Amino acid sequence: MAGRARAATSPPASPPPGKQFAEVVVVRHGETSWNATRTIQGQMDPELNDTGRRQALVVARRLSREAKPAAVYSSDLKRAAETAQTIATACGVSSLVLDPALRERHMGDLHGLAFDDAVRRNPEIFSSYSRTQEIPGGGESLDQLSKRCVSYLNTVAEKHKGERVIVVTHGASTEELCIHADPTSPVRGKLYNTSICVFRIGGGEWILEKAGDVGHLDQGEFL
């Protein structure tokens, strides 16, 4: 079930009696050359560019100063896996799990297109608010993406009750997690590379504590 959102400045809510929550810190991967040129990546597999590697180091440094995570989970795509490895190393975590369930939305025939070209060719996909519309060429609907990612995080949270874990994934995937926790969350297009979202998940309840935090980045250089 969906949960409720809390402002980033609010103190953490106390878990209801009888419930154990996992703190799940979701990080979007660092920048790739495809991000920089606004090319649709989806489940294509470009690696981080130099900016992305610097971003990964900066967010890793920040997370290493916070409570130590029990594990790091990541999409198996290179841009996420490299970001996750950088974070795991900085945090002294040996448990790094790569899983395709955390991949970006499958974009079907739109893979590899410049974003503006994709909009011109398929305006109905970008103007439609239907959560069930699949993208031609085997692409996912928003509901399919949400189900995949939410199910995986529920499994992770069940395994790590009372613990903190870090999950590295992608822009659209993270947006769907935020919207699951808070359907009114205004995150579309606002989750920058290596932005941090913090959830507390337990017993089917999701609490969005923080969304799109990029306080670790120098905005003049990275945003």
Gap between the Cα atoms of 140 and 131, Å rounded: 10
What pLDDT, on a 0 to 100 scale, did the predictor assign at position 6?
Answer: 39
pLDDT at 220 over 60: no
Binding site listing for substrate:
28-35, 79
Q: Name the CATH code of domain 22-213 (choices 3.40.50.1240, 3.40.605.10, 3.40.50.300, 3.20.20.370).
A: 3.40.50.1240
Which of 2-16, 116-130, 152-166, 191-205 is predicted with the least confidence, judged by mean pLDDT?
2-16
What pLDDT, on a 0 to 100 scale, did the predictor assign at position 65?
Answer: 97
Instruction: Give residue-wise pLDDT tens across range 38-49.
Output: 999 999 999 999
Q: Where in the chain are the domains? A: 22-213
Instruction: Give residue-wise pLDDT tens across range 138-162.
Output: 999 999 999 999 999 999 999 999 9
Do 82 and 46 meet the contact criterion of CB atoms below 8 Å apart?
no
**CA-based nearest residue to 149, from 8, 32, 48, 24:** 24
29 in catalytic set: yes
Q: How far is CA 139 from the centre of its chain?
A: 19
Q: Report residue 10's pLDDT band, with 50, 70 and 90 as the boundaries.
A: very low
What is the 3-class SS of 171-199, one letter each residue? HHHHHHHHHHHCCCCCCCCCCCCCCEEEE
Kindly give, in sequence order, each residue whose CB lies less than 8 Å from that of residue 180, ignoring residues fewer than 6 positions away.
2, 3, 146, 150, 206
104 in catalytic set: yes
Gap between the Cα atoms of 79 and 75, Å rounded: 9
Rounded percentage of the chain residues whose pLDDT exceeds 70 = 89
**CA-based nearest residue to 166, from 206, 202, 207, 194:** 194
Which of 40-49, 161-170, 183-192 is predicted with the least confidence, judged by mean pLDDT?
183-192
* Sheet of 96-98, strands arranged across: 4-5, 205-213, 196-202, 22-28, 164-169, 71-74, 96-98
What pLDDT, on a 0 to 100 scale, did the predictor assign at position 189?
Answer: 87
pLDDT at 93 over 90: yes
Catalytic option among 104, 140, 176, 209: 104
Binding site listing:
28-35, 79
Fill in the DSSP letter of residue 32. Answer: B
Rounded percentage of the chain residues whose pLDDT exceeds 90 = 81
